[in-house]
A and B are shown apart, each in its own frame.
Chain A
């Protein structure tokens, strides 16, 4: 028996077993690589590469893949080919392809391009909101209400994001109650799910537990997701705590695409491969085929001419 002869998946099946903690049996992974990931990469990729990446991710069994962003190309040139991408991808039945829509205009363009699900992006920090989208948190929520109203009429689902939930690059500490208020408003507006983003990756398990305690008093835990950044290496520990507190939706990015815009050269999004490795090791189902996921990661890293940020991918290639 040589370790080198078995695939990582077989290995995990043999080793993994839940310790009997109250963990979810199934976790939904929301793959943000093609949007959040690529948007924060230095190198721009051609449209056909984006389309191929999304198709490979669909094949890997991911249930939700954030495809692109209907933000003005003036602000986010990397997502300028939004319509082409939406029209070019091979949509797998049962898989959702949400797109970002910052306002009504973006929403309308998204629906026209065939989007069946959209996402809106709020912040728990006033300064961050001003610097990022040029308006206060309240003003942004008013804008989003227009989107959720229109989405309801059009029968389109809306996912809400709250950024800076465990810290802000400008304000520093962020109050869990403030996060809870913003999450509650997004939920009451009609968002079916709220993703809590540790935008600068400063959170640790204690802060995560405190945050989730506060937010789950306002929004049911089934409607919450965590979007952890790995800038300080804390992502998997934070995700584990979230799972222990009943969260069963996790955002991540293939190959850990998407650096941190607030710490040049530091890592940002947590790598999907590393999250899946942990979940499968815990006996939690995800529906994801890890080897196929790693293929998608290898593909996009070749196209970006960069090394993967996933430790699982690094280790597996070297064995």
Chain B
């Protein structure tokens, strides 16, 4: 028998494979150690700067700045740009101009512009404003769900079911997010099986993709791999994305691990916008520029122009009067 096909390896867990075919043990061990690894040829970049990024910045920016940022990002080739959030202004004042933003941006034919919709009310407003894709935000941690959206995971799923059913009827795709996938600021470590359960629910309700968020950035390649192992037993890798935070500097290593396991969609934020609300002053979202640098260096295609992303990053940092969190942007501006 020749090499075990990669597709087979990905379907079966390693332990199960060894159990069924003991003679495979040493061969698989060897293959794990081989110097060349398989990586996706193409990675889809999901830019969350204008929403997740700006929502978590101390400074508020004027509507025209948001619109210009999104327009600049559209020019870079980014295929998905999260534009705004239809959450009540009471909770997220930074996104109060959601309708204006969505209606004023120049929508590139190469990009999609999902918006957050926590419930039916937000969904209806989003559709009225012209949204063609929406996103719902669940959590793998009960406590985080209670503290963040004031309801249990189960109750949130009922809310999302309403949104997803209605969206389906209107042929509007829905993306799901699961926060606290690698740890919760209140509960600490989260069982990977719990994450898998929540991801599965969102996927079965009808989300075309579920983004796994390391909300407080505590994950490392070990915990990332373990979590993905359990999640991928329930949902195919083609329907998954990773949303890594760089609070502990682990984001790129975690993203690399995810790629090695077959994930090919990555969330990031231009200039690393969006600090960590649980560690004041610490970084949050991983920088789009740094992710692109790694992917392009590995020969992985993204369709995105890195220098144009750096320009968009420069623009928004000036507007926010802050330094970029992107190391690539820092290095490029400082080298002769």
Chain A residues with CB under 8 Å of chain B are 1-4, 6, 11-12, 14-22, 201, 203-207, 209, 212-213, 230-234, 236-237, 239-241, 244-246, 260, 262-267, 271, 274, 277-278, 280-283, 310-312, 314-315, 318-319
Q: Which residues of A contact B36 (CB under 8 A)?
A: 209
Instruction: Quote the shortest CB–CB distance from A224 to chain B (angstroms).
Output: 13
- CB contact under 8 A between A264 and B297, given known A16-B220, A17-B223, A231-B327: no
Q: How far is the CA of A22 from the CA of B31 in the complex (A)?
A: 10
**Which residues from A are CB-within-8-Å of B283?**
311, 314
Shortest CB-to-CB span from B5 to chain A, Å, is: 19
| Contact present for A312 and B327 (CB under 8 Å) | no
Tell whether A232 pairs with B293 under 8 Å between CB atoms, given A15-B189, A17-B223, A265-B334.
Answer: yes
Apart from the given pairs A11-B218, A16-B220, 15 other A-B contacts in the complex at a CB distance below 8 Å: A14-B189, A19-B257, A21-B32, A206-B298, A231-B331, A233-B328, A234-B297, A236-B250, A236-B253, A237-B256, A263-B330, A266-B331, A267-B330, A277-B250, A314-B281
Q: Which of A22, A209, A232, A240 has the most CB of B within 10 A?
A: A232
- In Å, the complex CA distance between A240 and B126 comes to 42
Q: Tell me the nearest residue of chain A to B327, going by C-beta.
A: A233
Inter-subunit contact A315/B188 (CB<8 Å): no
A205 near B225 with CB under 8 A, answer no
Q: State A246–B35 Cα separation when bound (angstroms).
A: 10
> How far is B35's CA from A241's CA once the two chains are assembled, in angstroms?
9
Contact of A3 among B184, B226, B249, B252 (CB under 8 A): B184
A271 surroundings in chain B (CB, below 8 A): 249
In the bound complex, CA of A231 to CA of B247 (Å): 17
Contact, CB under 8 Å: A277 / B293? no
Whether, in the assembled complex, B47 has its beta carbon less than 8 Å from a beta carbon of chain A, the answer is no
Residues of A within 8 A of B226 (CB): 17, 19
Question: Closest B-chain residue to A207, C-beta based?
Answer: B297
Kindly name the residue among B222, B250, B280 whose own CB sees the greatest number of chain A CB atoms within 10 A.
B222
Question: Are A237 and B218 in contact, CB atoms less than 8 angstroms apart?
Answer: no
Choose one: B183, B246, B248, B256; the contact of A277 (CB below 8 Å). B248
CA of A314 to CA of B276 in the docked complex: distance in angstroms? 11
Considering only CB atoms, which chain A residue lies closest to B259 in the complex?
A205
Q: Assess whether B223 is in contact with A266, with CB atoms less than 8 Å apart.
A: no
User: How many chain-B residues does the 8 Å CB contact rule pick out?
Assistant: 59
Is B257 a contact of A240 with CB atoms below 8 Å? yes
A116 to chain B, nearest CB (A): 33
Q: Are B280 and A278 in contact (CB under 8 A)?
A: no
Q: Which residue of B is nearest A284, CB measured?
A: B222
The CA of A4 and the CA of B281, in the complex, are separated in Å by 16
In the bound complex, residues from chain B placing their C-beta under 8 Å from that of A11 are 183, 188-189, 218
Write out the residue numbers on chain B whose beta carbons fall within 8 Å of the beta carbon of A246: 33
Instruction: Let me know if A278 and B220 touch, CB within 8 A.
Output: yes
The answer for the CA separation of A262 and B330 in the assembled complex, in Å, is 12
**B309-336 to A contact mask, C-beta < 8 Å, 1/0:** 0000000000000000011101100110
B103, chain A: closest CB distance, angstroms: 36
B223 A15 Cβ-Cβ under 8 A: yes
Residues of B within 8 A of A312 (CB): 248-249
**B327 close to A230 (CB less than 8 A):** yes
Chain A residues within 8 Å of B32, by CB:
21-22
Residues of chain B at the chain A interface (Cβ within 8 Å): 14, 29, 32-33, 35-37, 182-189, 216-226, 229, 246-250, 252-253, 255-257, 276, 278-283, 287, 290, 293-294, 296-299, 326-328, 330-331, 334-335
**3 smallest A-B Cβ distances: which pairs?**
A204-B297, A281-B220, A19-B225
B119 to chain A, nearest CB (A): 28
Q: A232-B331, A318-B282 are in contact. Are A245 and B223 (CB under 8 A)?
A: no
Which residues on the B side are within 8 Å of A213 (C-beta)? 35
Which residue of A has the minimal Cβ distance to B332?
A: A263
A245 and B37 alpha carbons, distance in the complex (Å): 11
The interface residues of chain B lying within 8 Å CB-to-CB of A310 are: 249
Docked-complex contact B29 and A266, CB < 8 angstroms: no
What is the CA–CA distance of A266 and B333 in the complex, to the nearest angstrom? 9
Tell me whether A232 and B327 are in contact in the complex, defined as CB-CB below 8 angstroms, given that A206-B297, A237-B253 are known contacts. Answer: yes
**Which chain B residues border A12 with CB–CB below 8 Å?**
220
* Contact present for B221 and A282 (CB under 8 Å): yes
Q: Give CA–CA (A9, B293) in the complex, Å.
A: 31
Residues of A within 8 A of B184 (CB): 3
Measured between alpha carbons, how far is A230 from B331 in the docked complex, in Å? 10
Q: B187 — which chain A residues lie within 8 A by C-beta?
A: 1, 3
Contacts of A264 in B (CB 8 A): 334-335
Give 27 pairs: A residue, B residue, CB < 8 Å, sorted on A.
A3-B187, A3-B188, A4-B185, A11-B188, A11-B189, A12-B220, A15-B182, A15-B223, A16-B222, A19-B229, A21-B225, A206-B298, A207-B297, A232-B331, A241-B256, A244-B37, A262-B335, A263-B330, A264-B335, A266-B331, A277-B220, A277-B248, A277-B249, A278-B253, A311-B247, A314-B281, A319-B278
Beta-carbon nearest neighbor of B282 in chain A: A315
In the assembled complex, the Cα of A207 lies from the Cα of B32 at a distance in Å of 19
Q: Is A311 touching B246 in the complex (CB atoms < 8 A)? A: yes
Bound Cα distance A199, B238 (Å)? 37
Cα of A120 to Cα of B223 in the assembled complex, Å: 38
Q: Which of B252, B276, B334 contacts A263 (CB 8 A)?
A: B334
The residue on A at minimum CB distance from B280 is A318
Tell me, rounded to whole Å, the shortest Cβ–Cβ distance linking A42 to chain B. 14
Q: Is the CB of A240 within 8 A of B221?
A: yes
In contact, A266 and B334 (Cβ under 8 angstroms): yes
Whether B223 lies near A281 (C-beta < 8 A) is yes
Q: How far is the CA of A48 from the CA of B261 in the complex (A)?
A: 49
Query: Once the chains bind, are A204 and B293 in contact (CB under 8 Å)?
Result: yes
The CA-CA distance from A299 to B307 in the complex, in Å, is 38
How far, in Å, is B324 (CB) from chain A's closest CB? 11
